[in-house]
Structure 1
């Protein structure tokens, strides 16, 4: 049985925790990002009320069975730096997906790698998960390097895999298997 409460996970410079209303500023700060609102449910409006609606939806992910949506927070000041999720759409097949984003001021500081490592370590404690997957556009080198630093292996290029902004985009597929992780 999967946990019905969000854990708090820490590793290096980050803490993964449930979103709070105070995190609305972080959500609003990526509304104008050229990619994040296109591939996530972050609102493009940049309005505070829409950011609060986003946060509410993140809380509903667990109760709906969609997965676990964590705020990536700075371990020292607990300020939201981004989001990472473990998505359970293929859980019955032993697979879970991962997606993540960071606000601009926290990029390039090891937060994404730490968040991905913390989430994957915790994911392996969940019953029934044998494979973790994530998808990255080929041009997004910082994101695929993050995946590789966390031990994910590139399996190949999925051509025309996902619609992004009314256009089908190629994606690299990355995976990490339970058998890839040293005991």
Structure 2
């Protein structure tokens, strides 16, 4: 499998800009993802999230990209790209089945402003077009109502619940699954 390319130019709608992570983003990336709401829904280990996890994420991001399996991007303010609003990723990329998954998280100051919806639309359009993905999946916790609303707003269809789907913070968690096919993005 070949490396996934970074979108060039970076993806933007004039409000949100999705770009490669930079080492200078480390403090903002850590602070945003360390927020209790991100930890509640996005941090699966039972161990506390640390700055070392953030540092390690940069290397893991590049390993996944070079393997053609995933691409992680910073979600930034399009007018000031040094302001990190969150992160987004395309992962489980499988060219043979033309499928992939998408995800996102937002720092507290970015929530409730439509940024997650804008982010998901930008990344999904790019994956469907540039990567020729024919099925995108999005998963979230059953109690993550905000992520479910974002998925539906973008045209993802709720397919159901994957019971006891994954290890999560020392237990197992159900997962809601949504999908998006070409022509369905809103």
Normalising by structure 2, what TM-score?
0.85
Q: Does 1:55 align with 2:49?
A: no
- Name which of 64, 68, 72 aligns with 2:75: 72
Q: Does 1:5 align with 2:22?
A: no
- 8 Å CA contact 1:160–1:169 kept in 2: the answer is yes
> SS where residue 160 of structure 1 aligns?
strand
- Name which of 15, 18, 22 aligns with 2:17: 15
Normalising by structure 1, what TM-score?
0.86
For 1:28-177, what aligned pairs fall within 5 Å after superposition? 28-29=30-31, 30-33=33-36, 34-35=39-40, 38-39=43-44, 44-45=49-50, 47=51, 50-78=53-81, 79-177=83-181
The runs of 5 or more residues in structure 2 that have no matched partner are: none
Q: Distance in 2 between matches of 1:122 and 1:5?
A: 11
- 8 Å CA contact 1:113–1:150 kept in 2: the answer is yes
Structure with the greater relative contact order (CA < 8 A, sep ≥ 6): 1 or 2? 2
Q: Distance in 2 between matches of 1:135 and 1:37?
A: 11
Q: CA deviation at 1:89?
A: 4.2
Q: CA deviation at 1:127?
A: 4.7
Q: CA deviation at 1:177?
A: 0.7
Name segments (4+ residues, structure 1) moved above 6 Å.
none
Q: Distance in 2 between matches of 1:39 and 1:99?
A: 14
Instruction: Provide the aligned C-alpha RMSD in A.
Output: 2.3
Q: Distance in 2 between matches of 1:68 and 1:129?
A: 14
- Name which of 17, 23, 27 aligns with 2:29: 27
The runs of 5 or more residues in structure 1 that have no matched partner are: none
Q: CA deviation at 1:126?
A: 3.1
Instruction: Point out the more displaced range, 29-38 or 87-96.
Output: 29-38
